[in-house]
A and B are shown apart, each in its own frame.
Chain A
Amino acid sequence: MRRRVRARALAALLCGLAPLLAGGCNLFRPADPEPPAGGDVFIPDYSDPARVLTTLARALELKSEQAAYADGLADSIYSADQPFSARHDPADIAEVPPGTPIPSRWDKNRERVFYSRVVVQRDTTLFMLFQFTPGLTDSLGANQQVLYRTYTMFVGAAAGDTIARGRADLRFVKLAGQGWRLLHWVDRRDPSTNPNLRTFGWLRLVTQ
């Protein structure tokens, strides 16, 4: 009788450790990569919110770093809070072309697809610049930080050819031992700039 109980307990324990065992089966076995053949090495850096922004900007510039871009956004797997979401300026929603779908929630998957589409819109390199927004002070907590930034997205070396400009309230969350991730992007128009310039949020909506 005692043996049976032990055997069942062992079976239950094995069930508990099943994920580790399952790592050995093919369903959870990642593919084997090809050995490297040169090329630049881009190592994403998420060690603080400013570096996360630099990583996102660099990923846009390189155009082939969708994984690094998406990895800079909070995920429900790693964060107890809600995963990444972006909020658009209501004025942008009102001005997108008629018939444009307005998703109820702009989540990480939409942002990932947006990345893959926006980087192919132009042949030239995309640059993203984040600057302090005058008059707004960042909120620097130990586990959450809010950065107020004015961003400019432009092509070419000069900032003359601007694609998007606006303001963003960027909330970052710190993950234990894994650095920081972008949790919320609240997009706003920049009242001090040319009103004909579109925001990143508008670009998101029309590039779905």
Chain B
Amino acid sequence: MTLRSRFLLSILLLPPAALTGSPSAAAGQPPGVRARADTADVTHFFPDSLWANTVAVDSARVYRDSLAQEVGAAEALATDPLAAGRSGTSFAYNTSYGVAQSSTSWGNSSTFSMQRDRLVVTNKTNITLDRYLAAGNVSPRQQRNSETEFSYRFSPQFSLGSRAKLDRTLTSASTLTSADRQDQNNFAFSAKGRMRPTPYARADLNVFGGYDSEERPTYGKDGLSGDANGSLNLQLSGLGTLSMTGRANGKRSRASLSEETAQKASTRDLSRAVNGTLGVLPGRKLGLNVNGSARRVQVQSPLIVPEAGISAIQEVLTRSGDVGATLQGRLSNERYFTVTHRQATENKGYSIRSDDNSGRRDRTWSADLHEVRWAFKLDGTFNNGRTRNDFSSDLSTERRPSPMDPGSFVTDTFPAGYVERVHNRSLDVTLQRPLGRRLNLKVQGTVSLSSFRYALVTDSRARLVDRDQYRRTFLAEGRFNPGQRWNTSLNYQQELRKNINLPASHSNANLEDRRYLLTWSWSYRISQGLTASQRNSVSANYQKRTFGPDSSGLRMEFNFLTTLESSVIPNRLRLTLTHSARFQPNGAFQYDTFEGQDLFYKSDETRLYSLDARIAYSPATWLTLNLNPSYQSDQRLATQGQALSPQSTVNSLRLSGGASVRRQIGAHGNLSGDLSRLFLADGRTSYVQGLAGVPVRNETDYWQGRLDFSWSY
């Protein structure tokens, strides 16, 4: 390192106070930002890397097989021996029982942790017993897993440890005699190191290595695995933060080739991933956050190729990466904006079934704006994203020779593919303005367009057609809130949707939907414990074929919902009554030659009424008894001749009664849950030519709910 670069590095790693002259390390940062930094510091990440990790976990896929150790490594970090300082023992136990119409589930879990100065021992055990019931058949499923970790801290910078992880799964279609058993074992040694060359830099390195095995009736795999991961966090003076993490893991195993043979073959898995986040000027009025990741995963696994009558080892190579930048401007709490750009790629290549190769590329721009000025509040969001999905099998993939590799094998399963290009763009703007203290007005408009374009390879079986999906909405709303006793609002929405197939072969099915919705709602507190509210809406949905006959379908809906809420005995007895009435006439506008204009012809109508009561009584603060009767009537009518005649009626009753419990048991226990008995009955009558058939009645009842008990020491 040259003298000049050393000097620049020392300037970057200087504490902010050294540059600003202020004794406060949080100088220039608002209190909230400091609090976030403190919270993040406990978990050994800087604030921006917390966000980056969230994104990374969310976007990452979990691969069956080779990356299980990666997840295990992440879990191991949760009990960091280097952070151990105090002696103590903790134990927590949780049991829960859930029952539903077609399943029951009983779970037991415990967590034990003991720290004695430099020694840390933890154990997590979970046992879940599930039963799925249907048509007299019982399908049991049992899962048991246990993870025990032991570590010893030689110094605050270095520790050694070991871990044993056992998983047992038992699944059966009918009874346990024909069970499918899956056993997984993982035994690993670990070494963890940490460096902190300056108060503003931290580096961690963790190394794991051990033995993995997986056994199933038809498949077995065992071998050695290793994992190395590390992180580097730098606080670059007041300029920003840099956080980087990297991970590499590999596995060398012997795996069964097929169900029929006991023959095994060697497989090698290797994955490498790196993530980085750079936060520039965090907490300032204008800040930039840049993050990126790259990932390369190679998995080898047995594959039976029936077309060739062989068993072979196939390698799947997945390469992915993304980079994103976010520019944030915050002039005040009422004026801020964000501009984000993100690019991501993922390519997946198969060494044998190369027809399954796929690639994906995303490129997205988005912008958000929030502005309050002259009593107007403006919110706007703009998105513009392009995605390219490539299933054309024409991807150049870097192939690593694997054992028993017969070379690329073109199968008959996917003889050809396609390339899809999707372009999504949307704009959403909301404007709000209070008029006085009682009236608030809101206007919102959105427009979005999604374009799907396809390029089919020669002889492709895909039948995808180029198309556009267009949507435009407008909303106007007024809310009047004169006092605490009552309030009302009026809401108008309209929407246009178009499904547009571009080629002539499909454009005759193009549709336009126009929807108009008017809603009026109010709420009035009649007395201290009694509140009435109502929501009335009417909507009309016109559906028209763009190139069809000159007529359009119309689906209308009238909806009236009335609710009475009463607190009969404050904090003890609460009653809620809801009545709903819904009418849905459907039909079409057709040209009437006699009248010389379009007339609406009703084709069918649905009438739905429901009455629902909810009674909750709390004899004690920890116990609530619930009763919920609900009745619903559904009538369907269709036009026959000049009049509507019934097609079917369904009357149903739903009665549920049970209890909710929330109670602390002693100093360390807690019991919570809901349990109820549900009774369902319905009667259905079908009509032929207006004549009622024989009513069909169904009745069923079952328990549903979940109870949890936890105890921690």
Shortest CB distance B176–A (Å): 12
Interface residue from B61, B132, B414, B508 paired with A104 (Cβ < 8 Å): B61
Which B residues lie within 8 Å of A121 (CB)?
413-414
- Interface: A43 (CB within 8 A): yes
For the complex, count residues of B whose C-beta is within 8 A of A: 121
- Interface: A116 (CB within 8 A): yes
User: Which single residue of chain B is at the shortest CB-CB distance from A27?
Assistant: B425
Shortest CB distance B610–A (Å): 6
B680 touches A137 (CB 8 A): yes
Q: Is the interface of A mostly helix, strand, loop or mixed?
A: loop
Which B residues lie within 8 Å of A38 (CB)?
505, 508
User: Which single residue of chain A is at the shortest CB-CB distance from B456?
Assistant: A120
B586 touches A47 (CB 8 A): yes
Interface residue from B446, B465, B515, B548 paired with A177 (Cβ < 8 Å): B515
Q: How far is B506's CA from A37's CA once the two chains are assembled, in angstroms?
A: 8
Q: How far is B134's CA from A136's CA once the two chains are assembled, in angstroms?
A: 7
Q: Which of B421-450 contact A (CB under 8 A)?
A: 425, 427-431, 443-449
A33 touches B507 (CB 8 A): yes
- Stretch of B21-29, B185-193, B298-306, B565-573 contacting A (4+ beta carbons < 8 Å): B298-306
A104 touches B62 (CB 8 A): yes
Chain A, residues 105-121, CB within 8 Å of chain B (1/0): the string is 00000000100110111
- Interface: B208 (CB within 8 A): no
User: Which single residue of chain B is at the shortest CB-CB distance from A167?
Assistant: B134
Q: How far is B582's CA from A119's CA once the two chains are assembled, in angstroms?
A: 39
- Interface: B147 (CB within 8 A): no
Which B residues lie within 8 Å of A160 (CB)?
none
B134 touches A22 (CB 8 A): no
Interface residue from B134, B420, B510, B517 paired with A192 (Cβ < 8 Å): B134
- Interface: A34 (CB within 8 A): yes
Q: How far is B378's CA from A8's CA once the two chains are assembled, in angstroms?
A: 13
- Interface: B163 (CB within 8 A): no
User: Which single residue of chain B is at the shortest CB-CB distance from A63?
Assistant: B463
Which A residues lie within 8 Å of B680 (CB)?
137, 139
- Interface: B77 (CB within 8 A): no
Shortest CB distance B360–A (Å): 9
B137 touches A31 (CB 8 A): no
Which among A47, A66, A96, A133 has the highest number of chain B CB atoms within 10 Å? A66
B505 touches A91 (CB 8 A): no
Shortest CB distance B534–A (Å): 16
Q: How far is B498's CA from A189's CA once the two chains are assembled, in angstroms?
A: 38
- Interface: B151 (CB within 8 A): no
B134 touches A99 (CB 8 A): no
A36 touches B504 (CB 8 A): yes
- Interface: A159 (CB within 8 A): no
Which B residues lie within 8 Å of A104 (CB)?
58, 60-62
Q: Which of A31-55 contact B (CB under 8 A)?
A: 31, 33-39, 41-43, 47
Q: How far is B102's CA from A133's CA once the two chains are assembled, in angstroms?
A: 11
B301 touches A99 (CB 8 A): yes
B509 touches A16 (CB 8 A): no
- Interface: A142 (CB within 8 A): yes
User: Which single residue of chain B is at the shortest CB-CB distance from A90?
Assistant: B141
Which B residues lie within 8 Å of A64 (CB)?
463-465, 506
A-B contact pairs, 7 of them (CB 8 A): A8-B373, A8-B374, A19-B474, A43-B509, A102-B62, A116-B418, A123-B461
